[in-house]
Amino acid sequence: MTERPPRARSAHARSPRTTTQPPGTPAPVKGSTHAMANTETALKDAMTSIEGVIGVALVDYTSGMALGTLGGGKDLDLTVAAAGNTDVVRAKARTMEMLGLKDQIEDILITLGGQYHLIRLLSGRGKSGLFLYLALDKQRANLAMARHQLKRIENDLEV
């Protein structure tokens, strides 16, 4: 894969507003204002430090609702993505249970024609039951780097 200049993305990917509570969606009440800021920081970090990001969301898969979303815009409704990908995570967890696999899902990669969708399940105190969802532009993204950065963001995140 070719080296890309760091953070040389177009402005549109960075401009969308942060919504820790998407309009019209009652987000689950979790944590203090400190935790909210930290969720916001992690989402901003993902948006700016990962090449080719279209949108990112922190999702509670016990309810299917997003704790926070950033980016996406009109082409990618992250509230819909949060709900839909909750079903993906639940289906995989159930399949593993039926197969008798005593293991954890680390991440799930979905490859589209023009995008990568990356789901990273979080673990650790206060973070189980959550996943980070990342939509990437296939042309601009470096998948290995994205997974590496996402792991770092997970470690820094306190909910």
Site residues for another protein, 84-123, by CB under 8 A, read 84, 86-87, 90
Complex with another protein: residue 79 or 149, whichever CB lies closer: 79
How big, in percent rounded to 5, are the helix, strand and coil portions of the chain? 35, 25, 40
Complex with another protein: residue 50 or 121, whichever CB lies closer: 121
Site residues for another protein, 6-45, by CB under 8 A, read 24-26
CB 30 within 8 A of CB 122: no
CB 110 within 8 A of CB 92: no
# chain residues binding another protein, by CB under 8 A: 15
Considering only 53, 66, 118, 150, the residue that binds another protein (CB under 8 A) is 66
Complex with another protein: residue 4 or 31, whichever CB lies closer: 31
Considering only 39, 69, 79, 149, the residue that binds another protein (CB under 8 A) is 79
Q: Which regions of 22-88 does DSSP assign to beta strands (E)?
A: 53-60, 65-71
Burial class (CB in 10 A: 0-12, 13-18, 19+), 76: middle
Per CB under 8 A, the segment of 41-49, 83-91, 106-114, 131-139 that binds another protein is: 83-91
Scanning 65-142, the segments in alpha helix (DSSP H) are 78-99
